[in-house]
Structure 1
Amino acid sequence: MNRIVPGNRPDPRTAPPTPLKPSGTFGGHLLANRYLYLMLVPALLYYGIFHYYPMYGAIIAFKEYSFSKGILGSPWVGLKNFDYLFGLDKFWDVFRNTIVISLYRLAFGFPLPIAVALLLNEVRVRAFKRTVQTVIYLPHFISWVILGGLLINLLSTDGGVVNKIIQAFGGEPVGFLSSEDHFRGTLVWSMIWKEFGWNTIIYMAALAGVNPQLYEAAVMDGANRWRQIRHITLPCIRGTIVVLLLLRIGSMMEAGFEQIFVLYHPAVYSVSDIIDTYVYRIGLTEGRFSLAAAVGLFKSVINFALLVVANKLARMMGEQGVY
């Protein structure tokens, strides 16, 4: 039996802490973190009920769906709906419109929030900074039904405020919402105006996490504001930029159904009709649910493929990606 010598007792203030013993079982881990998992339950229920359970209805795309027979009772037709769909000239028109509108939104709309966030980050008057933030992200919370009516009143050739100003300077009225030459640009810029403020807030949150000591060291080395942005700010928020870019690429086939549905009309179908509006017309108004499901499934597959490819490229460049 070992005897403890009083002079050799370890000092409790300097002794290393006793490591916590892991539970070793999934049940123990679940019990120890039960409150964290409990907070996940509403999100899991939401995605399970509204996102995963409806995926069962995707089999309609491979059936000749009938209301009277139901999903399970409707006969299988295999890839017949897809063969018919890909043979339609109209489908490739709406597919092209979807890609073009999404690319315009990505090219012009994605860099704008980054630039605005960088500019606001340089503002030192806090009251002015908060006022600008509030003003630019408020449109995000306004429905397109309301904004659509506002745009019609502003851009209409018959009494619209913008065209009145153009006429006051001796110009001719411009059909922003009635001309094929201008409608697509109006769609893109109105969408950017509505959403860029919200994305700016995301980048502002990322900028708040940049270590201020990096800027102090850069000032000591003689770096001006442009060099600080180029060599410190942008590299520090590059992860956020990449994640948002991946999510945007993964939703490339989502060109803004609500906005286009509110603003478009038959005169501009050739430049504004997208996959979502086409699905609405043939699925609900014409009752061709199987064909509409085939279109929606095709769109989802394209989005998934784009996300996988973009995520792979991001990981090859050293970024974390979204998974």
Structure 2
Amino acid sequence: MLSKSKAKLAGQNKYTFRQRVKRDFVLNKSLYLMIIPVVLYYVLFCYKPLYGVIIAFKNFSPNLGILKSPWIGLKHFRDFVNSVFFLRTVKNTIVINITNLIFGFPVPIIFALLLNEIKNRYFARTVQTVSYLPHFLSTVVVCGMIIDFTRDTGVINDIIALFGGTRKTLLGYPQYFVPVYVISDIWQEFGWGSIIFLAALAGIDQQLYEAAKIDGCNRFQQVIHISVPGIMPTVVTLFILRIGNIMNLGFEKIILLYNPAIYETSDVISSFVYRKGLQEFRYDYSTAVGLFNSVVSFVMLICANRLSRKYNDMSLW
């Protein structure tokens, strides 16, 4: 048997790299054709635009173009670090992301574990469908709902007034922006985020649960000793990715919710880049700020991956 395996391996090694690629393409032609749109998407919209990062180091002028604009080195980076907006935008970005990580990351995990314990499949599918729906709502619609609900005449203030509180427009006070943003984000994404954990739970060997029942484990003990360890690699992987994105926060929801009165806690790096780049037409400066943000995120991703590999023996690479 061993000699047959060696002979087969030797037969594979006699082909050159080009021949092996050609042979693999013939055998898996349909798979290669299916992946072409994905590759084109990343090449055209992710890798090709990287050429434009050069303007972060130039005094960019649309009339001169990217190559002919004068080179000024790290001036835009120094201007951003020394500006009054640096500490505010970085602090707000980190605070919102960490708050969302602490309160938002466990919710889809807990939801998936609870949903997995429901024995009535019809009821479970109904709950899943209802929980997924907010994810498919437009960001504009969601933000419109949030603004209406948090007005002094909105339903949230109706509840506050019912318990003796004072009516106030929540998005007019800086201290309320982070809770409103995080709670609405959890409501919108926890159902959709639970899909990957439900898939991980479905991959756990059911014989483990049968053995646990024979040993006298109740449902809670089965969750703690079988379900949670079974999805832990998925949890660690997603946690590392969340750490790597801790400096990234989309500007769409931010700019639809914030106003000058609450810039103190709502202005983040992405909204600052939006204002500088698209409203003030400072493309070079906004590109420098975005590049700074990406570099910091990349370093944090590397560090999180190394720490996870060191202490948990789990990592992305």
Q: CA deviation at 1:313?
A: 2.0
Are the counterparts in 2 of residues 239 and 319 from structure 1 also a CA contact under 8 Å? no
| 114, 118, 125: which one aligns with 1:119 | 114
Equivalence map 1:93-172=2 (5 Å)? 93-157=88-152, 159-172=153-166
Structure 2: gaps of 5 or more residues: none
Aligned to 1:223: 217
Partners of 2:298 and 2:263 in 1: how far apart? 27
Partners of 2:182 and 2:268 in 1: how far apart? 13
| 14, 32, 46: which one aligns with 2:27 | 32
Q: Which has the higher helix share?
A: 2
Q: CA deviation at 1:314?
A: 2.2
**C-alpha root-mean-square deviation of aligned residues, in Å?**
1.8
Q: CA deviation at 1:320?
A: 4.5
* 1:237 aligned counterpart, secondary structure: helix
Equivalence map 1:187-226=2 (5 Å)? 187-226=181-220
* 1:29 aligned counterpart, secondary structure: helix
Q: What code does the residue aligned with 1:139 have?
A: P
Q: CA deviation at 1:297?
A: 0.1
Are the counterparts in 2 of residues 65 and 289 from structure 1 also a CA contact under 8 Å? yes
Equivalence map 1:219-298=2 (5 Å)? 219-298=213-292
Equivalence map 1:66-105=2 (5 Å)? 66-105=61-100
Q: Which structure: larger Rg?
A: 1
| 300, 303, 310: which one aligns with 1:306 | 300
Partners of 1:44 and 1:136 in 2: how far apart? 32
Are the counterparts in 1 of residues 251 and 274 from structure 2 also a CA contact under 8 Å? no
* 2:170 aligned counterpart, secondary structure: coil
Q: CA deviation at 1:253?
A: 1.4
Are the counterparts in 1 of residues 101 and 242 from structure 2 also a CA contact under 8 Å? yes
How many residues get paired?
307
Partners of 1:244 and 1:283 in 2: how far apart? 31
Partners of 1:28 and 1:195 in 2: how far apart? 43
In the superposition, relative to structure 1, how do residues 285 and 108 fare at CA in structure 2: closer, same or farther (>3 Å)?
A: same
Partners of 1:63 and 1:200 in 2: how far apart? 44
Q: After the TM superposition, which parts of structure 1 deviate over 6 Å for at least 4 consecutive aligned residues?
A: none
- TM-score w.r.t. the length of structure 1 is 0.90
Q: What code does the residue aligned with 1:253 have?
A: M
Structure 1: gaps of 5 or more residues: 1-15
- TM-score w.r.t. the length of structure 2 is 0.92
Partners of 1:270 and 1:309 in 2: how far apart? 29
Matched-pair identity in %: 48
Are the counterparts in 2 of residues 85 and 295 from structure 1 also a CA contact under 8 Å? yes
